[in-house]
Structure 1
Amino acid sequence: MKPYTQKTHASELERDPQAQSQAVGLVGEPVPQTVEASNSLIPFALRDMSEGLQGEVVRETNEEEQRASDQAREELPLHDEKTLHSVIRKEATSLIPFLLSKYWSSQTVSHIDMLSHIRRGHRRYFPQIFEKASVLMQLLFGLDIREVDPILHKYVLYVAAGITYNGILSDVRGLPKSGMLIIILCIIFMEGNRATEDDIWHVLSNMEVYPDREHFIYGNPRKLLMEDFVWEQYLEYQQVPGSDPIIYEFMWGPRAYAETTKMKVLEHWAKFSKVDPRSFEFLYEEALQEEQGASGHAIASSVEE
């Protein structure tokens, strides 16, 4: 299969802003628009991160106690859609420290718990706020939120895509690093199952993640990528045969293949980028063939036993 590199022709999403909005569809539509896999699609999907949401998470973390004392304040006037969008984004961001505390303590979180962390006058927008907070948790930390009690509306937080690594040392309470790992696995998949260092840093730089700059979530990004993810066997790192000058590339490691699948990574990516995973036609086909092959192998093994 042809690798999906930066040389891939620009898709309709890249050429036409109107096509970008039209491509945002729902899973289950009969004929999703085809999207070519390209490195330049990734920064588009991560637009919210480039708009300073990371800085907001930091500020909200520092201001959590002060905000808790302001719950009774009256609703701010929401004169237009832009103001409403800003309010939803800020309220969603204010939930992040609370949701992370529940993840750290392995506790469920309820609808009522989350409402108590939203200003009283803005609680009518809870569905939109909760959706935005869920996307941020997926995007920044690689954490999904699943409802486990539909009557009391309780939720549990867990690492997405089947990954078991969260980047937190057992004796240190830090921020989960799974988000960056899943993004890198997706980049490798989109680049034809192998990606050079330049490919990866090009995409991460659009997320304001740089190899030589400390990051408030990911710490030392170069160390995390070159050492931790490789040491944990999620990634393999090797020289491109015959390259001159020497070029190194990353591929999925054995632990990535053991814990997740291309389909899970693609679906995770599509979920927060609001694109039907089938829109990535060739990637979806490859992921589907892998899933079907694994199922067939499992059935054959069961019959043999």
Structure 2
Amino acid sequence: MPWQGTMSELSKPEEDLQEPGKAQGLEEAQLLGAEWGEAATLSASSPPVSSSTPEGALPQEALNKMVANMVKFLLRKYRNKEPTSDDELLNTVLRDNQEHYPVVFHQAVECVLLVFGVDVKEVDPRKHIYIMVPSLGLTCDATQRGGQGLPKAGLLVVVLSLILQNRDRGPEEEIWRALSRMGVCVGREHSIFGEPRELLTQVWVREGYLEYRQVPDSHPARYEFLWGPRAFAETSKEKFTEYLLRVNERAFRWRDVP
């Protein structure tokens, strides 16, 4: 699948994309290289580049490297609350490979949205200037590690979506079953999300994004997740429905691309 190669590239040290002294540290590079596994399937919308394409086409391995570097650059801009532009991305990230900008930019934008929960929005169409904002209005990343941690909103979007698709109640066993297919497993430390049970049942419950409660009259006791009050305050089911339709539409559009 297209995103496996890109996520593998994220684990490698970042090229010098900015002035000296601002290169990404080893710890962050390792975090970016977390085994996000089947989360790649959420981004099936990005068309693969075949090695059998005509001479001069971009090999998949080279594409993965370019996309990974652009993802890292966009996430850094997000953490620093800085805008970016086509000119900056072309001259700082791609440099000698600017002819591949459209496909690299498209796949990088898809990755930061579907994996990290960050939207790339154009705020100046004339100068093509972009800002990075929390997906669906969720601000769960704002208080993490002084804003320096990797965005976790992508996982929260997945959990809230699963709850919504289960008629507003997400049985715990079904939530963990779905997340395990993405490499997020109970009792196993994740490089981006830490211990997922603590994140879902304590951190996000404490912050008001989720409710975690026993299913009424369940014997033996079973538990379920619901949307919390902060989730309702920051976003809405309507926005999530539109978001899921967009994701499904993109996946359908590219499903039969060779």
TM-score by length of 1: 0.65
- AA aligned opposite 1:242: D
Q: Could you tell me how far 1:122 is from its partner in structure 2?
A: 2.9
Task: Tell me the secondary structure at the aligned position of residue 116 of structure 1.
Answer: helix
- Against the structure 1 CA distance between its residues 94 and 274, is the aligned structure 2 distance closer, same or farther, given a 3 Å change threshold? farther
Task: Tell me the secondary structure at the aligned position of residue 154 of structure 2.
Answer: helix
- Against the structure 1 CA distance between its residues 125 and 142, is the aligned structure 2 distance closer, same or farther, given a 3 Å change threshold? same
Q: Does the CA contact (< 8 Å) of 1:88 and 1:132 recur in 2?
A: no
Aligned partner of 1:65 in structure 2 is 16
Aligned partner of 2:115 in structure 1 is 140
Distance 1:272 1:88 in 2: 22
Aligned partner of 1:101 in structure 2 is 76
Distance 2:89 2:51 in 1: 25
Q: Does the CA contact (< 8 Å) of 1:102 and 1:108 recur in 2?
A: yes
Aligned partner of 1:261 in structure 2 is 236
Write the deviation string for residues 143-181 of structure 1: whole angstroms up to 9, x where unpaired: 000001111111000001111221642535110111111
Aligned partner of 2:28 in structure 1 is none
Task: Tell me the secondary structure at the aligned position of residue 141 of structure 1.
Answer: coil
Write the deviation string for residues 276-297 of structure 1: whole angstroms up to 9, x where unpaired: 99xxxxxxxxxxxxxxxxxxxx
- Against the structure 1 CA distance between its residues 55 and 126, is the aligned structure 2 distance closer, same or farther, given a 3 Å change threshold? same
Q: Does the CA contact (< 8 Å) of 1:167 and 1:175 recur in 2?
A: no
Aligned partner of 1:236 in structure 2 is 211
Aligned partner of 1:110 in structure 2 is 85
Write the deviation string for residues 240-291 of structure 1: whole angstroms up to 9, x where unpaired: 11112210000111111111111212332343444599xxxxxxxxxxxxxx
Q: Does the CA contact (< 8 Å) of 2:208 and 2:229 recur in 1?
A: yes
Task: Tell me the secondary structure at the aligned position of residue 250 of structure 1.
Answer: strand
Q: Could you tell me how far 1:136 is from its partner in structure 2?
A: 0.5
- Percent identical pairs in the alignment equals 35
Distance 2:243 2:59 in 1: 27
Bigger Rg, structure 1 or 2: 1
Aligned partner of 1:80 in structure 2 is 52
TM-score by length of 2: 0.76
Provide structure 1 residue ranges, at least 5 long, that are not aligned to the other structure.
1-46, 70-77, 278-305
Provide structure 2 residue ranges, at least 5 long, that are not aligned to the other structure.
21-49, 253-258
Q: Does the CA contact (< 8 Å) of 2:172 and 2:224 recur in 1?
A: yes
Aligned partner of 1:174 in structure 2 is 149
Q: Does the CA contact (< 8 Å) of 1:95 and 1:117 recur in 2?
A: no
Distance 2:103 2:188 in 1: 33
Distance 2:175 2:51 in 1: 41
Distance 1:177 1:167 in 2: 10
Q: Could you tell me how far 1:120 is from its partner in structure 2?
A: 4.2
Aligned length: 220
Aligned partner of 1:19 in structure 2 is none
How large is the Cα RMSD of the aligned pairs?
A: 2.7
- Against the structure 1 CA distance between its residues 261 and 48, is the aligned structure 2 distance closer, same or farther, given a 3 Å change threshold? farther
Task: Tell me the secondary structure at the aligned position of residue 64 of structure 1.
Answer: coil
